[in-house]
Amino acid sequence: MGKAFPKTTIEGPTPATIREGVGMPIMSMTMIVEEEEGSKVDEEATPSLTAKKGKGSTYEVINVLRNLVEIVEMEESVSKKQNTGTEEDVISDLPGDILQHILSFLPVKCVVATSCLSKRWRYIWTKVQVVDFEDVLFYSPIGEEPERRKNFMNFVDKLLSFPIMLHKFSFSLHGEFDESLLQTWISTVIERKVQHLSLTICLFGQSFVFPSSLYGCGSLISLKLEMNNSNLEVPTLIFLPNLKTLHLSFITFPDDSSTQNLFSSCPVLEELIIDNCKCIDMKKLCISVTTLKRLTLDSPYDEREEKEMVGCVIKIYAANLISFRCRSYVSGDYDIGHLSSLVDAEINLLHNPLDKDRMEETGIVACKLLQFMSNVKVLKICNGTFKCLSYRKDLLRYLPTFHNLIHLEVNSKVIDTIQVLIDVLQVSPNLEHLVLTRGFCSYFDTGDDVCMLNTTRSCLFVHLKAAAFMNFEGYKTESYLLKFLLENARVLEKVAIECSNLSPKKMQRVMKLILMLPKLSESCVIEFF
């Protein structure tokens, strides 16, 4: 263990108003920071604190705190020398924007506490425009939550009374809170012209309605709303003129019209994420936004959600959509406009394999969804999607031709759906990259289906340049597919095979057999890892 820094007790922020409003229980904290063996923080290392935002990991936050303590020690040392007139204050050499950037990585409780470090730091925190409130950081062991929660509310109340400008504001609350007080806080933040707002409101046994000012905030660029599956009550009048990113999580949509009104009231919306939201008693979920570029539909793994989705039609009209990610139970139907600009898509359809009565319908709807993806360039097909497609009789007849598809990733263990994979390959004439991430299963390992490729070999793998077989175990089916690929891919450059699950002896045997396979492309390299 290296040398330890002196134990530093912070009694609260210097501004008397905050110290009085919050009280000692919430702002008293003890920081004990230990320096790694042989490490040293000097003046030349200080500029590294200007790392780009977004890296705010726990490790980096600890480093920031370590540097803050080091700065305090440096100032104390320099101050003593200043009294003799021999040294200048090195803290004054750090620009204010650098100090503010450092603080933007920390929870708000730590940010305000830095006002006690020195005179130089006293009001730096009031200029920080990135504020992150996490209520659980203020809570103590079981039994003290009510008092701590009260202190937290006092702290937020006092902090928002300061005229600080907010660029980014994150708020996370769990438990029981006064609804009117929460609405006041949110309204205050909106008045400060916040641009990026994240609100997680999980009130136990309480419903919550966001203030109407939220739905008319002209400064918002990104907005995330998360609730504990509570209804999202939205007003009739909504206008978010600059909102580009909207993220809705764990929210229940009460009806068709309110969600459609919300989406259509964002004239420049570019990204929409609907994450683990519920559509109860909804006949349709309509997303009609011409400016939309990225769309994510991520449903919860819940059988009740499947029943709700069966009666709901998903309508998407987004002519400029570039990226589409769908992880959801197969809905009652899909109605999607022409997606001529689509670049990448990820389709992960969920279904109940015990629902025998709906198998054929599931296959029809799943195939219909893929038809809307016909212009995609990068396609990732996951888990249950292949199983859903296998329910479609005469699948090849109904699949679209993916003329633009150059990269296909199959993120699903190929079990009894090898024929579905073959059908998809046959309608992908310009494919350049093929990735099979989860391998094959031995239960249906006959290789017979792969033999059918011989009848269509002239139109397969014409442009294939690279392929990857993950979790390769040498089963007949995957070996036949690999053999066929090597024999027919004229411009193939590389095949990567991951077989780490095999024993060393079996791996050597499999590698030897693969390297003996004939290759149409003389320049093809086979790599094992």
Q: Which residue has the tokens 């109407």?
A: 212
Scanning 83-144, the segments in alpha helix (DSSP H) are 96-103, 108-113
Nearest alpha carbon to residue 495 among 521, 473, 476: 521
Query: For the chain, first and last CA: distance in Å?
Result: 38
pTM of the model: 0.76
The size of the chain, in residues, is: 529
Residue 209 tokens read as 């309605």
DSSP symbol at 35? P
CB atoms within 10 A of CB 80: 11
Q: What is the pLDDT of residue 79?
A: 54
How far apart are alpha carbons 49 and 68 in whole angstroms? 10
In the chain, which stretches have pLDDT less than 50? 1-56, 58, 86, 92, 140-141, 143, 447, 454-455
pLDDT at 479: 85
Closest-CA residue to 515 (of 504, 500, 526)? 526
**φ and ψ at 411, to 5 degrees?**
-100, 60
Amino acid at 181: L
pLDDT at 115: 67
Nearest CA-CA partner of 293 in 270, 317, 325: 270
40 vs 33: CA distance, rounded Å: 13
Interatomic CA distance for residues 336 and 322, integer angstroms: 14
d(CA 125, CA 111): 6
Number of Cβ within 10 Å of residue 191's Cβ equals 13
Rounded CA separation 393/420 (Å):
11
